[in-house]
Structure 1
């Protein structure tokens, strides 16, 4: 399973992460060669996430119907063609089309690997396997820092994308020839019925806004705006900036392993993954506020927190695997990915538009521009966290009311309640009620 299922899909996910974050390093050369401003650069980078989000639902359906082997290998051929076109592009329009092709081509990289894990691995080990897959795939973000800088010195950004095209074609062939064909499930319900099952589930809409606003923002910052912040706000030179981006990329990989292991261990002790996800969110918001408020901390610390949260899909995907049966996991992950990448597009492109509202001073945007742009995303995350915690807040309110009023039936809000695990003190929403 590891050699013929796990590692081939890891290779595809690795390339997906590399394509996602590589514009951080080549953005300066693209701007210099083609005269791109912040708005165009934000659109060029974020169109990857826009098309990525747009094809998630049909790809989730294809994964459930035809299996990850066929879908992933076919789409990676599209990504390889997009990489080849990107390296040969001569204007902004061609770059935009090529970037969109890459986004479509790697749009199934994560979901196909997750689908393969759910299909071939025991359910109780899904969170841990997800963690290892994302950890190894996130090495693509590591490659998009110092190693890519070395390649750029030898090949330039055009030659680099030629090499990426060859690697992507090779990965497509590896998956097609190495991965065994999984048994195709019998179709017992229409696609519309299955999608309605997911999108009408209250548990899905409890986790989805929080997961999208946090993970999507982390991806956006890591993929583009971290480099601009480090250069324009922190005043780091290119060498120092790339070194810090390299450490942040390692944080994604380490964070995936850490969160996957934590989710697995906590699950064994009866603590559900929702609790871990809430704690990660609070830490994420704290890291962003430390940057925005310019607290006297080493900038690497909050940026490491942000990079680790980019791997929190380990937790949210594992939650969906608990909520839905195996034949629906492809669509469920796709539904969540639509929100992840849709919000990432909004944050990435919107940040560029907000920055353009300030005049460039000495070749850089002022600090206040970045602070305003980042604060807008934080506001949405705080609202999503409040929505996520409503059942727990209501439960706490009822307990307080019961304590002071002595009425076991006391209610403090109109939202349906949740059961608790009194033995371990962890608040656990009841599946039937949610």
Structure 2
């Protein structure tokens, strides 16, 4: 199959809508955090714990998901799992306790866990390898659009329908997308011959983690994406309100610029990497340069450098998307029958890391005492963000000094 009209209507569009929804769910938590916290009396640690449930459940699904995608019809796996997200949205909408909010977020994370990986698996099966960075970038850009619409537009909508009404509507949209994936995407079975034994497939999943190629590139890729996800999903909004003293409306506007940068990064970096391959510039070289720029932008943010907020948050978003280039880079280094498990192995580490970071950032902030009004000092948030920046810097050094393999 080629990148023609038929491909975009029957394969790309349903998966793109699913990933749009996945990112909307991921990012909207930062916008609704304040009204949810006010209604249920939640502190920063509780907010981090509830938000992290999405990533915990998402991560837990990745290894079995990789096996399912390499074993069964891609459209069936993706559409059935999306039904869990619809149920999770309803649980969240009607939650009256922190635990029910946590459970709802977790079920949402589990339910959208196949949106990106199913798409990547389908693209590997249907397209030539040299088209993967481009189409993967377009797929990821649709997630960026989901992030954009989960910021300022949601802030405008909340006074009209409230956060509970928003999640009821999201449950209905999720159900419709599940039906669309099942009815529009063609049947994609990875092997015409007999399936490999389940035990062999599981061992194949574990072998990915032991690969020197994977071990070299995974830390930087994972941390780049996990840090930005943890920020955009919750802590960027908290930083903008508590450190920069922005209003909720201005906070949503700044998140909009970060999400716009991320969407443009997804849209352009994949195509740029494909073009640079002609000049023998590897995808990992492009990714590592961009991830270094993300590290620099993090330092400018933490030390509150005298730069304009909009360009800084735009660049954080743009370069925060660059770790995703490693999906295409890694799948080219493994047999095609392992493609689903390679992508889900990277995704597993990504969302375990995002879960830990979103929770631990709240724990770090909580190490300081709030003032009489319940506000935490600026240094608490700087320390929280600095932990992430140090981790990213160490991962870049790990890549630089691991010389056993090149991607």
- For Structure 1 versus Structure 2, the TM-score category normalised by the shorter chain is over 0.9
Q: Which residue of 2 aligns with 1:279?
A: 289
Partner of 1:228: 238
2:179 is matched with 173
Cα shift at 1:210:
0.9
Q: Which residue of 2 aligns with 1:374?
A: 385
8 Å Cα contact 2:208/2:342 also seen in 1:
yes
Aligned length: 396
Contact 2:87-2:107 within 8 A present in 1 as well: yes
Q: TM-score, normalised by structure 2?
A: 0.94
| RMSD of equivalent CA atoms | 1.4
Worse-matched range after superposition: 354-363 or 244-253: 354-363
- Secondary structure at the residue paired with 1:204? helix
Aligned residue in 1 for 2:315: 305
Q: Which runs of 5+ in 2 are unaligned?
A: 1-6
Give CA-to-partner distance per residue, 1:36-61, whole Å, 9 cap, x none.
11000000001110111111000011
What are structure 1's unaligned runs of at least 5 residues? Answer: 392-414, 419-428
CA distance in 1, matches of 2:49, 2:324: 28
Query: Within 2, Cα distance between the matches of 1:38 and 1:99?
Result: 16
Aligned partners of 2:20 and 2:143 also within 8 Å? yes
Instruction: Say yes or no: does 1:161 pair with 2:167.
Output: yes
Which deviations, in whole Å up to 9, do the C-alpha atoms of 1:388-409 show, x marking residues without a partner? 0114xxxxxxxxxxxxxxxxxx
Displacement after TM superposition at 1:277 (Å): 1.3
| 1:4-23 equivalent positions in 2, closer than 5 A | 4-23=10-29
Aligned to 2:4: none
Alignment of 1:29-178 (within 5 A): 29-178=35-184
The one of 286, 289, 304 equivalent to 2:299 is 289
Structure 2 CA distance, aligned partners of 1:73 and 1:150?
31
Q: Distance in 1 between matches of 2:9 and 2:75?
A: 14
Which has the larger helix fraction? 2
Checking the alignment, whether the CA contact within 8 Å between 2:287 and 2:323 is kept in structure 1 is: no
Q: Distance in 1 between matches of 2:134 and 2:265?
A: 12
Which stretches of structure 1, 4 residues or more, deviate above 6 A after TM superposition? none
Residue 261 of structure 2 contacts residue 318 of structure 2 at CA under 8 Å; is this kept in 1?
A: yes
Note the alpha carbon deviations across 1:313-333, whole angstroms, 9 max, x for none. 441111112111221111011
Q: Is the 8 A contact 1:127 1:314 kept in 2?
A: no
TM-score when normalising by structure 1: 0.88
Q: Following the alignment from structure 2 to structure 1, what is the Cα–Cα distance between the partners of residues 207 and 97? A: 44
Deviates further, 108-117 or 5-14: 108-117
Matched, 1:205 2:211: no
Q: Is the 8 A contact 2:294 2:320 kept in 1?
A: no
CA distance in 2, matches of 1:98, 1:114: 26
Match of 1:410 in 2: none
- Give the whole-Å Cα distance in 2 for the aligned partners of 1:147 and 1:375: 30
For residue 11 of structure 1, report the CA deviation from its aligned partner.
0.7
Q: 2:227 aligns with which of 217, 222, 236?
A: 217
Question: SS where residue 22 of structure 1 aligns?
Answer: helix
Contact map agreement 1:259 1:314 (CA 8 A) in 2 = no
